[in-house]
Structure 1
Amino acid sequence: MTRDTIRSDGTGDAATPRALDRDTAAFYRRLGPGLYAPTVHVQGAWRDDEQHMAPVSGILAHEIDLHEPREGMQLARISFDILGMIPARPSRVEVRTTRPGRTIELVEATMLVDDRAVVRAHAWRLAAHDSEPVAGVELEAVPGPDGLQPWSGTDTWDGGYIEGLEFRVAPDRRPGRTVAWIRALHPLVDCETCSPTADLVRLADTANGIAVRVSPREWMFPNVDLSVHLFREPVRGWVGFDTRVTMGPTGLGLTSTTLHDERGPVGRAEQVLTVRRLPGS
């Protein structure tokens, strides 16, 4: 959305592909506390007037980070329920603590567009403790990004979000199974720095688009949720995806991913899919 179509209260004309801000080199531009203007870099893959869930999850994680921060607390799980299409218009995020605690707390964040809730997130924050004597990882490591080959996501997907990513993929990738590394070419919020955790979360939803079993020009398989579990805080940089996509016979699907940073496995992500043939295909 161009800067002159957004009024000071964050409202403006209905977003169209041409109206989206193409000048800001970030996913979002802050308009005020909890209020953001999406840019063309959040544009979805199936509709050009919607926000892709990946940057939306990142902005919700960012607002959770900013909410009543306490030293020594870390994000252990964040789950998102997608309540409908997410219009590419000014978006407000409301955050509250629903289960306060000294070492364990639950935080809820909701994104609203035109005063309608479009995504709701729940995050468990846990206190850090020394568990080094019993630390161990059973998730398998994958080759790093330097050993994989470039891939253009725009060969499969449309939209400004995909255009703003850099990919490396395994040469043996196949429909329903791939190892890939992704990094964003743009920051999450203009003139702001987000945490390494929010930096990873903002890419996690991309898993559903890197190991597609069928052409997205013939079938739709959007996810209705996203759940990210972490067993340590990630480091900033490339995010690795070891992804498997399963589709059942009655319109349900599941995208399952082990998430990596450049130090190794860091957690898991799951997405439930609704699978349906595109009209006319």
Structure 2
Amino acid sequence: MSAFFTQKQGELVPAPHARGPWSSDMLHGRLLGGLAARAIETRYAQPGLHFARLTVDLFRSSPMMPVTVETSMIRSGRRILVADAIISTEQGVIGRAGAVLLRQGEQPGGEQTFVTPAWDSPPPDAPPPVDGRVAWSPPFDLWRVTEWGEPGPGRVWVRETHPLVDEEPLTPFVRAALAADFASPLSNAGVEGLQFINADYTLTLARLPADELIGVETTGHLSADGVATGQVTMHDTTGPFGFCVVTALANPVAIGGRRS
């Protein structure tokens, strides 16, 4: 499978399948989070430091044009490292990200008063079905455990099928960053379709995903006056490994559900 971006003279040039569902000339926001995670990991990953948080601000949509990612160190201490990334095109800054890396150590003894349980959705055992009802076909494997617009918590399994940049293998951290963008459509979906578009997402990780399959499960939604916040739990085939929270704004174009 061809990569979403090709690196040329310091720029990341998008392939046609890098477009998102909102417009045929708009980069998919999840890829920008993936690029930020890749850039920060490439420059600042160290043995014993764990990527515990990634916040991605998506405050401007971008046409299908070359992207640059610049990183900077904010804090490097004995037990914490904080780094930022700025994502730009020739039109200006389109997003930013901040990552927190924490020093791994001995796990405390005793039991927690509450631990997020594993979900009861087994991993898929067949290729994902093709949905001919929607105009945008996702350039990744998607298994819907629940249907769009179905009352109750939304659940999906996702698996990347394309490299992000050139032929580079996807790391577990980048896989998690890409899958985390699914927090918005799952937590903000309504019976009339997806009528919120997210402005950011914050991924928190107790550990990295252990395999290519990542499950995303809605665990919260609140909205009022056109502003929403949503929450999901991130799973792999061994159990939950993190959470993702998004903020979103009401959007008049519904995707999925009854208006698709």
What is the TM-score when the length of structure 2 is the normalising length?
A: 0.86
Q: In the TM superposition, what is the alpha-carbon distance from 1:27 to its structure 2 partner?
A: 1.4
Q: Deviations over 1:64-98 (max 9, x none)?
A: 10113321111000001112112221000000001
Task: Find the partner of 2:214 among 231, 239, 244.
Answer: 239
Task: Find the partner of 1:227 among 170, 188, 202.
Answer: 202
What is the SS of the residue equivalent to 1:146?
coil
Contact 1:153 1:167 in 2 (8 A): no
Is the counterpart of residue 169 in structure 1 residue 144 in structure 2? yes
Name the amino acid aligned to 1:29.
Answer: T
Q: Deviations over 1:189-248 (max 9, x none)?
A: 2211232111121121023234621445xx641100100000112223111011156353
Distance 1:237 1:86 in 2: 28
**Residue number in structure 2 paired with 1:138:** 115
**Residue number in structure 2 paired with 1:99:** 75
**Residue number in structure 2 paired with 1:12:** none
* Alignment RMSD: 2.7
Is the counterpart of residue 58 in structure 1 residue 45 in structure 2? no
1:110/1:154 CA distance change after superposition, 3 Å: farther
**Residue number in structure 1 paired with 2:17:** 41
Matches within 5 A, 1:102-121: 102-114=78-90, 116-121=92-97
Instruction: Give the length in aligned residue pairs.
Output: 251
Q: Give 5+ residue unaligned stretches, structure 1.
A: 1-23
Tell me the percent identity.
24
Distance 2:20 2:61 in 1: 10
1:147/1:106 CA distance change after superposition, 3 Å: same
What is the SS of the residue equivalent to 2:182?
helix
Name the amino acid aligned to 1:221.
Answer: F
What is the SS of the residue equivalent to 1:56?
helix
1:187/1:98 CA distance change after superposition, 3 Å: same
1:114/1:215 CA distance change after superposition, 3 Å: farther
Contact 2:146 2:156 in 1 (8 A): no
Deviates more, 1:221-230 or 1:146-155: 146-155
Task: Find the partner of 1:203 among 179, 184, 195.
Answer: 179
1:135/1:78 CA distance change after superposition, 3 Å: farther
Q: Give 5+ residue unaligned stretches, structure 2.
A: none
What is the TM-score when the length of structure 1 is the normalising length?
A: 0.80
Contact 1:181 1:239 in 2 (8 A): yes
Task: Find the partner of 2:99 among 118, 123, 126.
Answer: 123
Name the amino acid aligned to 2:204.
Answer: H
1:127/1:251 CA distance change after superposition, 3 Å: same
What is the SS of the residue equivalent to 1:75?
strand
Q: In the TM superposition, what is the alpha-carbon distance from 1:249 to its structure 2 partner?
A: 3.8
Distance 1:26 1:149 in 2: 21
Is the counterpart of residue 189 in structure 1 residue 165 in structure 2? yes
Richer in strand (by share): 2
Name the amino acid aligned to 1:144.
Answer: P
1:220/1:171 CA distance change after superposition, 3 Å: closer
Q: Deviations over 1:225-279 (max 9, x none)?
A: 1000001122231110111563534101222100011111000001111013349
